[in-house]
Structure 1
Amino acid sequence: MPLPLRTGRARFAAAGALSLTVLAGCSDSGGGGGGSSSAPATPPSSPSSSPASPASSRPPAGGQVKVSIKDFTFRPTDVTVTPGATITVTNDDTTTHTMTATKGRVFDTGDIAAGKSATFTAPSKAGGYPYDCTIHPFMTGTLTVK
């Protein structure tokens, strides 16, 4: 019976090594930030950072929207804005991220280093604009312009 135990441990060790390799690939090496603005990071507003808040936002009255990135997640994930609204993306994570339209690159923040922010203008044409982080493509969301 010792053979299955060793096989199980070997599998566990291999899985652990793979996990460390994947995590190392997502760590911040101190670089990046080329496309980020020098504006100070601002904490996200309470509705978008609350765990109980909805996954989408309504068009803002003032034409400004704040999106934060934390724990490899856009908050909120789905954002609804008016045409030409100003969107500020704050990276509250430990590594560089982007917020980039997946079709046609209609908007792209460029690299946003940890603790930094970037601002862009929403498209003027109404519609849904899927986006992701080009560095971590599993991070996705939708910008809806109404």
Structure 2
Amino acid sequence: MFALLSLVGCSDGGNGTAPATSPSSAATTAGPASARIVIENFTFSPADLQVRPGVKITVVNRDSVPHTVTATGDKTTFDTGNITGGATVTFTVPSTTGSYSYICTIHPNMKGTLTVR
């Protein structure tokens, strides 16, 4: 009887007493895969945004009038077209690193800078 109790005491009985493990997650330095610009009260927020190449940016127009997010200068690489009041659009950031100034072509006093790095 003693021998039988000794064997039972050493058995885990299939109850999974092995230490718990969790899958390892690889750390990434790629940064977020998306970003957001909110248009409200005729301003871009944030006005200066830093992102990685190829990131998707969602633009939310909280004003009641249309706006655009349009690159200016030599780097006219993105243009959302008219975003009606209350609408949301998405565009992809250029794959070339650098600083991209942008405006609302309807209200050119609205300005921002997109830095791709």
Say whether the fold is shared (TM-score over 0.5): yes
1:77 counterpart residue number: 47
1:62 counterpart residue number: 32
CA deviation after TM superposition for structure 1 residue 63, in Å: 1.4
Work out the CA distance in 2 between the residues paired with 1:67 and 1:93. Answer: 13
Would the aligned equivalents of 2:31 and 2:52 in 1 still touch at CA under 8 Å? no
**1:126 correspondence with 2:115:** no
- Counterpart code for 2:31: A
Unaligned runs of 5+ in 1: 1-58
Q: Please give the secondary structure, in 2, of the residue aligned with 1:94.
A: coil
Q: Give the ranges of 4+ consecutive aligned residues of structure 1 lying more than 2 Å apart after TM superposition.
A: 59-62
Structure 1 pair 79–73 and aligned structure 2 pair: CA distance change class (3 A): same
Work out the CA distance in 2 between the residues paired with 1:138 and 1:125. Answer: 26
Structure 1 pair 97–60 and aligned structure 2 pair: CA distance change class (3 A): farther
- Counterpart code for 1:125: T
More helix by share: 1
CA deviation after TM superposition for structure 1 residue 60, in Å: 7.9
CA deviation after TM superposition for structure 1 residue 62, in Å: 2.4
Work out the CA distance in 2 between the residues paired with 1:124 and 1:116. Answer: 26
Count of aligned pairs between the two proteins: 88
Work out the CA distance in 2 between the residues paired with 1:66 and 1:118. Answer: 10
1:101 counterpart residue number: 71
RMSD: 1.5
Would the aligned equivalents of 2:47 and 2:113 in 1 still touch at CA under 8 Å? yes
Unaligned runs of 5+ in 2: 1-28
Identity %: 50
2:15 counterpart residue number: none
Would the aligned equivalents of 1:60 and 1:81 in 2 still touch at CA under 8 Å? no
Q: Please give the secondary structure, in 2, of the residue aligned with 1:131.
A: strand
Would the aligned equivalents of 1:90 and 1:118 in 2 still touch at CA under 8 Å? yes
